[in-house]
Structure 1
Amino acid sequence: MRVPGWLDDTRTSYDAVAVSYADLLRDALACEPFQRGILALFAELVRAQGNGPVADVGCGPGRITGYLHDAGLDTFGVDLSPAMIDVARRDHPGLRFEVGSMTGLELPDGRLTGLLAWFSLIHVPDDEVPAVLAEFFRVMRPGGALLVGFHAGEGSNLKTEGYGGHPMNVYVHRRSPARVAAWLEAAGFTVEAEMLHRPAPDLEGGFVFANR
């Protein structure tokens, strides 16, 4: 589906929820052994390529950026929301965070050994995804590791509030791992694994590993 103004809506929505989002999710990984395992595998794949710089694209308040840093990766965060970046810098003062858009990363070609998009493609409309993945491909070095996490399933829904009842105006797009893998292959990546996690009967998370 085509969603005009989605970048502005995403920025405004996450500016509104930044502080409460960080408070609600700060310790979420402690209760997610599967997610910790997936991130540990990503870290191992990055280290196997020489452990160069890793971008957490759509980093939000930096909780995953910090987790990967603690796992030994040279990680920095990029997010569309200035308020999210303010919270990330507050909560992780020793790490690098920048305001930026995945539609045009301010990074040179081949800069990254790893790139993580952890539930950050979920607001990108279908017709914009190929351009975003082409940008990911551009900034990664040959052999670099990519991990994409997303809400699995089909269809889109409009999210009008969240994280403590704050107003939001973003579409949440659900995709199958096979669909995301096909997009990645079309962008030039080699897909290594597709995973589906069911933490609850009505909740599915998808994860795709690929390399440049």
Structure 2
Amino acid sequence: MTEPSVLHDTKIAYDSVAARYAELFGNILETLPLERAMLTAFADLVRAGGAGPVADLGCGPGHLTAHLHTLGLDAFGVDLSTEMITLARRDHPGLRFDEGSMTALDIPDGTLGGILAFYSVIHTPPRQLPTVFAEFQRVLAPGGHLLLGFFAGDDPLPEEFDHKVTPAYRWSPDSLAELLRQAGFTEVGRMVREPHQDERQFRQAQLLFRRP
């Protein structure tokens, strides 16, 4: 599929499940202590670097944007799905949420202190990820941090799987880290954990990178 068709299909898929998604995942961080720790570390690094604004890309119903706000960050959310943005604005009226695509962000060059992309690149076709990471590099300020969450695999090549909403990919952490290095980022740390009993039987991963 071409990029516009992938974006359109992903948008329509998430529009159709937005309410159910918000119901299922709105309090997900309560069951994810390792992810909470990574988010706290990310917030600490952003604040130490000057606390520029942070974009939660693929923010869904805004629960992680709100969490970043509680950690002291000037956070706002961006999502492809109109319905997700509607829910985010309803549930978190004090925060900013914009409809948009990670492939062409309406954000000036070098203005962000951080980017959170929590399982939001998993639907991106592998050939298009360099474009997305170049866009991340463009909008981050020097010294800004990126926290990327995804499903982890063992194969060096991305593995497509049947996600409940729309087709997705899982990546070897090393392979995804290499793409980020090629985009000009420097690794700070990573976390890989085994799935919980009620999760899909894939390992879960977080990569923390920095724009030099």
2:162 corresponds to which residue? 158
* Paired residue type of 1:106: D
Distance in 2 separating the partners of 1:79 and 1:62: 9
1:200 to 193, 196, 200: 196
Does 2:124 match 1:120?
no
Aligned pairs for 1:128-143 within 5 A: 128-143=128-143
Query: Aligned-pair distance for 1:67?
Result: 0.4
Distance in 1 separating the partners of 2:82 and 2:9: 13
Distance in 1 separating the partners of 2:36 and 2:196: 17
Query: Aligned-pair distance for 1:194?
Result: 2.6
- 5+ residue gaps, structure 1, are 163-167
2:19 corresponds to which residue? 19
Range 30-39 or range 200-209, more displaced: 200-209
Distance in 2 separating the partners of 1:127 and 1:17: 26
2:84 corresponds to which residue? 84
- 5+ residue gaps, structure 2, are none
* More strand by percentage: 1
Distance in 2 separating the partners of 1:36 and 1:193: 15
1:187 corresponds to which residue? 183
Counterpart contact for 1:176–1:206, Cα < 8 Å: no
Partner SS state of residue 106, structure 1: coil
Distance in 2 separating the partners of 1:16 and 1:56: 21
Query: Aligned-pair distance for 1:32?
Result: 1.0
Distance in 2 separating the partners of 1:12 and 1:64: 22
Q: TM-score, normalised by structure 2?
A: 0.92
Aligned pairs for 1:19-38 within 5 A: 19-38=19-38
* Paired residue type of 1:47: R
1:165 corresponds to which residue? none
Distance in 1 separating the partners of 2:2 and 2:138: 25
Partner SS state of residue 199, structure 1: coil
Percent sequence identity over aligned pairs: 49
Alignment root-mean-square deviation, CA: 1.3
Distance in 1 separating the partners of 2:114 and 2:80: 19
Range 139-148 or range 150-159, more displaced: 150-159
Distance in 1 separating the partners of 2:32 and 2:188: 23
Higher relative contact order (CA 8 A, sep 6+): 1
| CA deviation vs aligned residue, 1:91-148 (integer Å, no higher than 9, x gap) | 1000000000000000110010001100000000100000000000000000001110
Counterpart contact for 1:181–1:194, Cα < 8 Å: no
Distance in 1 separating the partners of 2:180 and 2:33: 26
Distance in 2 separating the partners of 1:158 and 1:33: 27
Counterpart contact for 1:112–1:144, Cα < 8 Å: yes
4+ runs of 1 displaced by more than 2 Å?
Answer: 199-203
Distance in 1 separating the partners of 2:2 and 2:204: 23
Report the count of equivalent residues: 203
Aligned pairs for 1:37-56 within 5 A: 37-56=37-56
Partner SS state of residue 195, structure 2: strand
* Paired residue type of 1:191: E
